[in-house]
């Protein structure tokens, strides 16, 4: 091959190589530009380019016991609207009272109603042409029979001129008939007539409830229907937090305490266990604000069922009574009165009642009924209240330490204590009088003058007036109040301050102290003097 031909071939190869290189660079630059542009575009369109998008799964049922209970039981929970007309004098000018005026003027207003059946501002009071006012209260209830029978609280329908019921997913309001009520347990039974069977809740056994069990409440708090809340059983056997100083109010109430959220409007709704059974009827809360603070009370289902059965049978609840007043006393009281194995100390005997006619006296200690031991007040009430009216029972008692037997005829409690059960007046304490003799009990006492007796309407002979109770003293610990009248100490009559001085000298620290005092308490719409026994063990001197 000639040298010139060789050079020509070499030049062709260089040109080809250069072209390939240039082509490769061009393709690379083009691809890089495209990739860079795509990346920049992606970066500009996503706030978090490294995040993985969430994918919503296909709908699938989730196992949830509470949801199942809500679905099954909520149709049995109803909203109750009660309406009443508060009459005003014809001369009154129609006006809408303020919230504070309503609470002061309406005598039906009590702790239960304030907590559970609020009168919704702006809609609760409608003035009539001549000054009358229509008041609406809201509450809850639970259907317990497919025929339309509903359990609720008495205070939800109390004094109502009209009661209407709203069912779940139903815009209608159905007029309800009041079958009967029981003020002492705050329960009522109402009925609505609907042509179809209604979903009803099953009653559970409240005796099986244990502290720590799940608790579920359904109702209409603040008018929000079908509200479901859950918590636990906080305690059992709680006494009513709203017992009057008369000592005999609501003694048939022993509550289940729960922290399931219940508020105004939950009244009468069910408290359920984890099986969806009714174990209580939500009745009250303790609250400083008027709303949920974690302390709610439900009347146990066993009590509610018993009351319900009596009402649907007879239209009312009849309980037996022998006409005495008592409290479960301090152990020191029973020791001083000679009862070593428990008993019930009679603090008052209703004049003309069965006990009075049979000869039972104040300071007797009842130890047995028909030979069955009575250890405390619950034993006595459980026996007497369920004994048919007209039954004669044998009462075993101690009087001044000596046993005796008396026969008493059981009567209707509602008749014996008609005035006490008709309503309470507000407690009005007299102003204590200054200048009196101090005692080792942490109280000051003075002799009762004729002016004192007239001012206090106190007619019994003897006694000394408590004029002051020191804070954190023994007297305060056992429950003494200013204007109590002490009539005996450790079964020894007190006629004046000199008796108090003598008796207190004989009581050493660690000794039993039992005071019998008279206290002015509500009795229907009036106030009367009633006996109380206050006791304790005297602490060491400070």
CATH number at residue 217: 2.40.10.10
Question: What tokens appear for 261 in the block?
Answer: 């959220």
pLDDT of 40-95, one tens digit each? 555 556 788 888 787 877 876 655 788 899 999 999 999 999 887 665 544 444 44
pLDDT above 70: percentage of residues in the chain: 76
Asked whether residue 393 is domain-assigned, the answer is yes
* pLDDT band per the 50, 70, 90 thresholds, residue 244: very low
Residue whose C-alpha is closest to residue 136's, from 107, 110, 112, 156: 156
186, 259, 379, 499: which one is catalytic?
186
HSE-up of residue 317 (Cα within 13 Å, Cβ side): 22
Please classify residue 241 by burial: count the beta carbons closer than 10 Å to its beta carbon, then call 0-12 exposed, 13-18 middle and 19+ buried: middle
pTM: 0.65
pLDDT, average across residues 278-289: 86
* 267 is a catalytic site residue: yes
Residue 315 φ then ψ, to 5°: 85, -5
Q: Is residue 391 part of a domain?
A: yes
* pLDDT category of residue 435 using cuts at 50, 70 and 90: low
Q: What is the pLDDT of residue 104?
A: 33
Whether the predicted pLDDT of 462 surpasses 80: yes
Check: CB of residue 521 under 8 Å from CB of residue 531.
Answer: no
Let me know if 186 is a catalytic residue. yes
Choice among 87-96, 206-215, 222-231 with the minimum mean pLDDT: 87-96
Among the ranges given (97-111, 178-192, 413-427), the one the predictor scored with the smallest mean pLDDT: 97-111
Same domain, 86 and 186: yes
Q: Cα–Cα distance between 511 and 133 in angstroms, integer?
A: 59
DSSP-derived 3-state class of residue 151: strand
**Quick one: which of 267, 270, 302, 301 has its CA closest to 284?**
267
Task: Provide the pLDDT confidence category of residue 517 given band limits of 50, 70 and 90.
Answer: very high
Q: Catalytic pick from 155, 200, 446, 473?
A: 155
Evaluate whether 103 touches 109 at the Cβ level (below 8 Å).
Answer: yes
Asked whether 370 and 407 are in contact (CB, 8 A), the reply is no
Q: Looking at residue 148, what is its pLDDT?
A: 94
Find the angle CA(516)-CA(520)-CA(526) to the nearest 5 degrees: 145
Give the span between the Cα atoms of 162 and 155, in whole angstroms. Answer: 14
Q: Confirm if 424 and 244 have CB atoms less than 8 A apart.
A: yes
> Beta-carbon neighbour count of residue 104 at 10 Å?
11
Question: Comparing 233-237, 238-242, 275-279, which segment has the lowest mean pLDDT?
Answer: 238-242
Note down the domain range covering 464.
437-537
Please indicate, yes or no, whether residues 126 and 149 belong to a single structural domain of this protein.
yes
In a domain, 42, yes or no: no
- Whether 175 and 212 map to the same domain: the answer is no
Is the pLDDT at 233 greater than 60, yes or no? Answer: yes
Distance between CA atoms of residues 514 and 335, nearest Å = 10
CATH of the domain at 464: 2.30.42.10
Neighbours of 333 (CB within 10 A): 24
427 lies in some domain? no
Q: Single out the residue in 268, 287, 314 at which a domain terminates.
A: 314
Residue tagged active-site, from 82, 181, 267, 444: 267
pLDDT (tens digit, 9 = 90+) per residue, 39-48? 555 555 678 8
Q: Among the three residues 374, 395, 421, which one is the final residue of a domain in this structure?
A: 421
Residues 341 and 284 in one domain: no
Q: Distance between CA 387 and CA 384 in Å, rounded?
A: 5
Q: Structural domain tally of the chain? A: 4
Is 185 a member of any domain?
yes
Last residue of a domain, one of 284, 314, 344: 314
């Amino acid at each position: 091959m000639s040298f010139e031909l060789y050079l020509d071939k070499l030049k062709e190869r260089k040109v080809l190589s250069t072209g390939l290189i240039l082509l490769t660079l061009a393709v690379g630059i083009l691809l890089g530009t495209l990739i860079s542009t795509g990346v920049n575009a992606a970066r500009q369109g996503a706030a978090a380019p490294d995040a993985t998008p969430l994918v919503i799964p296909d709908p699938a049922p989730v196992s949830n016991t509470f949801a199942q209970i809500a679905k099954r039981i909520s149709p049995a929970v109803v909203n109750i609207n009660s309406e009443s007309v508060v009459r005003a004098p014809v001369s009154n000018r129609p006006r809408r009272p303020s919230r504070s005026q309503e609470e002061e003027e309406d005598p039906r207003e009590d702790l239960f109603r304030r907590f559970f059946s609020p009168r919704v501002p702006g809609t609760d009071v409608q003035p009539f042409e001549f000054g009358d006012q229509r008041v609406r209260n809201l509450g809850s209830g639970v259907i317990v029979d497919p025929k339309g029978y509903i359990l609720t609280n008495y205070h939800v329908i109390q004094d109502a001129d009209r009661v209407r019921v709203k069912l779940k997913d139903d815009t209608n309001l159905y007029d309800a008939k009041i079958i009967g009520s029981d003020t002492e347990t705050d329960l009522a039974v109402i009925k609505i007539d609907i042509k179809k069977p209604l979903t009803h809740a099953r009653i559970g056994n409240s005796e099986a409830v244990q502290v720590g069990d799940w608790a579920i409440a359904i109702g209409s708090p603040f008018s929000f229907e079908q509200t479901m809340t859950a918590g636990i059983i906080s305690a059992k056997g709680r006494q009513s937090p709203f017992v009057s100083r008369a000592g005999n109010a609501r003694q048939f109430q022993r509550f289940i305490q729960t922290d399931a959220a219940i508020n105004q409007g939950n009244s009468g709704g069910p408290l359920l266990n984890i099986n969806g059974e009714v174990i209580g009827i939500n009745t009250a809360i303790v609250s400083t604000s008027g709303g949920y603070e974690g302390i709610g009370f439900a009347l146990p289902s066993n009590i509610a069922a018993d009351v319900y059965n009596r009402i649907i049978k007879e239209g009312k609840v009849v309980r037996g009574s022998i006409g005495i007043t008592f409290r479960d006393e301090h152990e020191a009281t029973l020791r001083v009165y000679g009862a070593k194995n428990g008993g019930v100390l009679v603090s008052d005997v209703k004049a003309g009642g069965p006990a009075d006619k049979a000869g039972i006296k104040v300071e007797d200690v009842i130890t047995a009924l028909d030979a069955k031991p009575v250890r405390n007040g619950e034993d006595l009430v459980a026996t007497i209240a369920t004994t048919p009216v007209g039954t004669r029972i044998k009462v075993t008692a101690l009087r001044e330490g000596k046993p005796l037997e008396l026969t008493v005829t059981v009567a209707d409690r509602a008749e014996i204590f008609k005035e006490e059960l008709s309503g309470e007046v507000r407690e009005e304490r007299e102003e204590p009088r200054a200048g009196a003799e101090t005692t080792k009990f942490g109280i000051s006492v003075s002799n009762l003058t004729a002016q004192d007796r007239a001012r206090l309407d106190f007619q019994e002979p003897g006694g000394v007036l408590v004029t002051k109770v020191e804070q954190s003293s023994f007297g305060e610990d056992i429950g003494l109040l200013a204007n109590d009248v002490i009539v005996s100490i450790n079964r020894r009559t007190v006629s004046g301050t000199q008796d108090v001085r003598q008796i207190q000298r004989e009581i050493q620290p660690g000794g039993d102290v039992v005071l019998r005092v008279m206290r002015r308490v509500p009795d229907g719409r009036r106030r009367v003097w009633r006996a109380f026994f206050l006791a304790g063990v005297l602490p060491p001197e400070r």
